[in-house]
Amino acid sequence: MTPGIDPDFNRLATLIRTHPAIAPIREAATTPLYLVGGAIRDALADFRVDDIDLVIEGDPVPLAAGFDPAAKVNDRFGTVNLLVDGYPVDIATARTETYSRPGALPDVRPGTLEDDLRRRDFTINAMAIGIDEGSEMIDQFGGIADLESGVLRVLHDASFEDDPTRALRAARYAARLDFDLEAKTAELMMKVNLGSISRDRVESELRLIALEDNALEALRLARLWGLVDFPEERLDLAEQAIELIEIEPWRDEAPREALILEVVFGNLSGAEELLGEPGTPWQACRLTRGRTAMELVVARALGAVWLDRWQREWRWVELEITGADLLAAGVPEGPQIGAGLDAALEAKLDRGESGVEAEMAVALKAVGARLP
């Protein structure tokens, strides 16, 4: 792991001063607003800042409505999601949270900015700064020091118990930032129970991990920490699959994040069925018929080299005749149409018999009909 990050305070100041979404909100606000969480972390660490999260000690709805009449209000959590000049912005009421049981969604009450920062997952996400120019950083929990030291630290001992998804988030941040767990946080990690939360919440966090550039490292850490279980060799297979969809002939054949999750956690039996070498191009096409792009990419990563030729050549071979031609020639509607077309495609792929006349002859012979 790296020794940490040298925070770039100039970049943070520039973000606050020049971001197209922050400037108009600053001008319209009559109550102090604070930039919080990931935007501060990523600005200081010189990462791309995608989302702007703001906190207000009051009701965010009137302010948000002035910018985006279609803003989405979450009354339970006191948040508003809106677009400002095309940029996503979340404005939240400063709040305090309590948990009725481990893994439950929190009960929320309005609170102070300090309350809001105290409820967060890690110290590096518990910093705030006013969006007025010249505002001072608010860092009550040592987030800057932990950025500099390269560690992830929870704010209190019950953090993972309250919200076990924070453990998966830790894997995501640790991989992205190349950070270690602080010693006490590492001790608490060993007690995490993801079984106390719904499968949907776990899968949502795994999808976020899969979107990361360092997704495989994050999954490796999650496995190392006992959060998820899968054969370790799946990570190597996923790396090979990712490399495939970045080059021809498999470029962009499957979405990267879905491919990662399928390879690491999925049932690969469908892909494994394609590992046998087909004897002819037609047999190759029969084997691939009905297969998903995901299965094909995974099968190639597993070692089905013959799929490269299928992907480059055989899959693109098309007949000059259609089912309508066979119907016009007197073949009754039904499975015989498909059988005839299959026979013609087999002859074209394996024996080079092409052209309308040759294809019709093969198709009609296969279904026992005669040329008109």
Report all structural domains of the chain as residue ranges with CATH numbers, in order of start: 9-149 (3.30.460.10), 152-229 (1.10.110.30), 231-315 (no CATH), 323-366 (no CATH)
Burial of 192 (0-12, 13-18, 19+ CB in 10 A): buried
Closest by Cα among 165, 127, 131 to 143: 127
> Per-residue confidence of the chain (372 residues) as pLDDT tens digits?
455 788 889 999 999 999 999 999 999 888 999 999 999 999 998 888 888 999 999 999 888 888 888 889 888 888 899 998 888 999 999 999 888 887 788 888 999 999 999 999 999 999 999 999 888 999 999 999 999 999 999 999 999 999 999 999 999 999 999 999 999 999 999 999 999 899 999 999 999 999 999 999 999 999 999 999 999 999 999 999 999 999 999 999 999 999 999 999 999 999 999 999 999 999 999 999 999 999 999 999 999 999 999 999 999 999 999 999 999 999 999 999 999 999 999 999 999 999 999 999 999 999 986 555
pLDDT at 1: 45
Full-model pTM: 0.89
Residue for token pair 């019709």: 360
89 with 70: CB under 8 angstroms?
no
Please, how many CA atoms are within 13 Å of residue 252, restricted to the half-sphere of its CB? 0
Closest by Cα among 170, 175, 50, 72 to 122: 170
Transcribe 240-286 into DSSP letters.
HHHHHTTSTTTTTSS-HHHHHHHHHHS--HHHHTT-SPPSSHHHHHH
Separation between Cα atoms, residue 91 and residue 86, nearest integer Å:
15
pLDDT at 8: 87
72 with 81: CB under 8 angstroms?
yes
Total residues found in the chain within this entry = 372
Joined together, the tokens standing for residue 197 give 């939360």
Burial of 140 (0-12, 13-18, 19+ CB in 10 A): middle
